Structure 1
Amino acid sequence: MDHQMMNMFAVPLYRAALGRAFSDEEMQFFKAELSDPVAAITNYASRNKKVLDTAPMQSIRAVLQAHLDQFFKITFNTTNNVSLQITQSWLTRSQQGDAHHTHTHPNSVVSGVLYINLAPKDGINFYRNEDNLWYELIRQEDSYYNALRYFVQTGIGDIILFPSNIRHGVNAVTENIDRVSLSFNTFFSGELGREEFSNQLNIRLL
């Protein structure tokens, strides 16, 4: 039968690349920051939660902020005098057998990942919010409409940006490799809402 399928209210997922190799100074910084990590649930993270505020990371931060600005322009296209600014940022290390549990990022609008080292067939899983599913059907084949998981294969230097409330995680590392990534959160800085509607809010991040 003739028909048309239309997709409503897309979830934005942004993919880009750093566009260059990591410098020796940057690689030394990553190694130093992860030399004494803290244990996460199923892997390890840097003690420093502001790695993008450090001097060796300023070039990378500028690239990430530029992509964040572009993502914000494409997805929100607002007339408000507001931007998204990077807040927390940290390094994550996973070794063979480690994984990254499924989670979201509270107190953040958009989250991002920069991949520093990983296996050739690795990436990130995004998951549909199953809390709204009140039924269960066995899927003959995954499609855009019924899939519960969306896998994005990534490589060294790739940048991924996504809404912070989307559940995501990483499969267990199967190869003898240090999987290293830099993650960051963001929040609004500037003007939200409209004064005439009594909902204007001004936020200035330090």
Structure 2
Amino acid sequence: MPIESLFVTRLYRDRLDAFGPALDQDELFDSCYAIAEDDEAGQQWCDEKGYPGYTSYASLTDLPWRFPIFKDMVESLDRHVARFAEDLDFDLGDRPLVLEDLWINILPEGGYHSAHIHPHSVISGTTYVAMPDGASSLRLEDPRHAMMMASPARRKEARREMQNFIYMAPEAGDVMLWESWLRHEVMMNRSEYDRVSVSFNYKWGE
């Protein structure tokens, strides 16, 4: 058929340790909880905002300095992001994409994170520390959704690239990347155990 796909949305998924030695997941898990326990400012922000569980998003900016394992994580993330940027055909010139922020998320049973974007970044993503059975999936939304107006619904059996929402079920040790304008949300955690992840943004360096 004389039909082609235009304006493709790319999604990157790989193992965090694809470029080197594996990070100790137990050490990473323990580090996340140690930081959460000590971060009184982050705990207060979560209480004030009604955020379920814990996030260091609004309180800490120095995770790689606090624990060496996060420094090792950033070294791996830098390489994944560089590979994704190459796939996206970005013309970066002499200004590489650089880490802007990195934060911990601990989402308990019943917790979720509503749909949002990261408007001041170029590439965003998450690496997963603990994904117990029943932990929430990541839902990605077609960026054209709000402009479809009178468009009919898609068939349930629609091809994957034609669906309005895509659900991803990452595993512990995975890293996922997307362009920061892509709306995404974390569905409700239906496991009795915490869903633990580390999210991040990359900006165009100066």
User: Residue 7 and residue 82 in structure 1: after superposition, are their counterparts in 2 closer, same or farther (change >3 A)?
Assistant: same
Over residues 65-117 of structure 1, what are the superposed CA-to-partner deviations in whole Å (9 max), with x where a residue is unaligned? 11111111221253611211011110011111101111001211100101001
| Contact persistence 2:31–2:67 (CA under 8 A) | no
- Higher relative strand content: 1
> Which ranges in structure 2 are unaligned for 5 or more consecutive residues?
none
Q: Which runs of 5+ in 1 are unaligned?
A: 190-202
Aligned residues: 188
Q: Which moved more, 1:91-100 or 1:137-146?
A: 137-146
Deviations 1:152-173 (A, max 9, x none): 1100010001011110001101
Q: Secondary structure at 2:172's aligned position in 1? A: coil
Q: Work out which of the two has the higher radius of gyration on C-alpha atoms and give 1 or 2.
A: 1
Structure richer in helix, relative to its length: 2
Cα pair 2:23 2:73 within 8 Å, conserved: no
Normalised by the length of structure 2, the TM-score is 0.82
Q: Which residue of 1 aligns with 2:169?
A: 153
1:67 to 80, 83, 107: 80
Deviations for 1:4-45, whole angstroms, at most 9, x for unmatched residues?
Answer: 431112111111112325255433321111224341554331
Q: Give the equivalent residue in structure 2 for 1:138.
A: 153
1:51 corresponding residue in structure 2: 63
For residue 187 of structure 2, what is the amino acid of its counterpart?
N
How far apart in 2 are the matches of 1:112 and 1:45? 15
Partner SS for 2:137: strand
For 1:91, the equivalent position in structure 2 comes to: 104
Structure 2 match to 1:184? 200
Give the corresponding residue for 2:132. 119
1:118 and 1:179 in contact (8 A); partners too:
yes
State whether residues 113 and 161 of structure 1, in contact with CA within 8 Å, keep that contact through their aligned partners in structure 2. yes
Q: Match for residue 192 of structure 1?
A: none
Aligned twin of 2:32: 30
Structure 1 position 134, deviation (Å) = 1.7
Alignment correspondent of 1:110: 123
TM-score by length of 1: 0.82
AA at the equivalent of 2:31: F
Q: 2:185 aligns with which of 127, 148, 169?
A: 169
Which consecutive aligned stretches of 4+ in structure 1 deviate over 4 angstroms post-superposition? Answer: none
